């Protein structure tokens, strides 16, 4: 088994300080860059709502990052379950809106398979853990590059559409942080359930 070193209060405070500093820096930078964009003659629907959406994106990713730093196993798997639920909802919505059957079907399949894999990953199945990471990486890339299309279909801002891939990346990082649990369990003679 892996020796688990608990996160001390001082470590948690340092992690929180770094994440908070990054959050403030990104939002401050975005504030000034969006001012330059708007003053440069580019028309936007509502600059204030764009800033709020960007702030929401960075806040959600920052909170998930902090949680992943403190409890990567719990947060990584919890996000996998959450993203599976989002996939089920998106699959049903895609089929209801008449979008391509391949897209709706894929989202539904992932929504059903991902929680099963995450469950077995929680049981230390190395194979399930690796497939969960592979699915999340693939969907993070698809959702990141598909964000403009999602924005158009749902009528939301681009920054709101980027929340999902942001959480997928955090889930991948959190699950990768616990890779030693699967490697050591596997090398230690057990099959890891997979």
Residues 38-66 have pLDDT tens digits of 776 666 667 778 888 899 999 999 999 88
Widest Cα–Cα separation across the chain: 65
- Calculate the alpha carbon distances from 69 to 16, 184, 189 in Å: 9, 20, 29
Neighbours of 147 (CB within 10 A): 20
153 or 101, which is more confident:
101
Give the Cα-Cα-Cα angle 107, 67, 93 (nearest 5 degrees). 20
Nearby residues of 130 by Cβ (< 8 Å), 6 or more positions away:
182
The answer to which of 2-11, 81-90, 110-119 has the lowest mean pLDDT is: 2-11
- Report domain extents, the chain: 9-187
pTM assigned to the model: 0.79
Kindly tell me the number of DSSP H helices and DSSP E strands found in the chain. Answer: 9, 0
């Amino acid at each position: 088994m892996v020796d688990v070193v608990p996160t001390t209060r001082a470590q948690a405070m340092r992690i929180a300080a770094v994440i908070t500093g990054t959050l403030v820096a990104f939002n401050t930078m975005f504030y000034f860059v969006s001012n330059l964009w708007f003053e440069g003659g580019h028309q936007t629907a509502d600059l204030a709502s764009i800033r709020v959406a960007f702030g929401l994106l960075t806040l959600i990713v920052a909170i998930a990052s902090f949680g992943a730093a403190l409890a990567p196993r719990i947060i990584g798997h919890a996000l996998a379950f959450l993203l599976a639920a989002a996939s089920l909802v998106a699959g049903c919505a895609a089929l209801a809106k008449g979008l391509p059957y391949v897209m709706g079907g894929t989202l539904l399949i992932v929504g059903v398979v991902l929680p099963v894999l995450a469950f077995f990953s929680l049981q230390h199945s190395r194979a399930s853990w690796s497939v969960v990471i592979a699915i999340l990486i693939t969907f993070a890339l698809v959702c990141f590059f598909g964000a403009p299309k999602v924005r158009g279909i749902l009528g939301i801002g681009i920054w709101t559409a980027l929340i999902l891939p942001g959480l997928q990346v955090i889930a991948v990082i959190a699950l990768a942080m616990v890779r030693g649990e699967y490697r050591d369990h596997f090398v230690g003679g057990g099959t890891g359930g997979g």
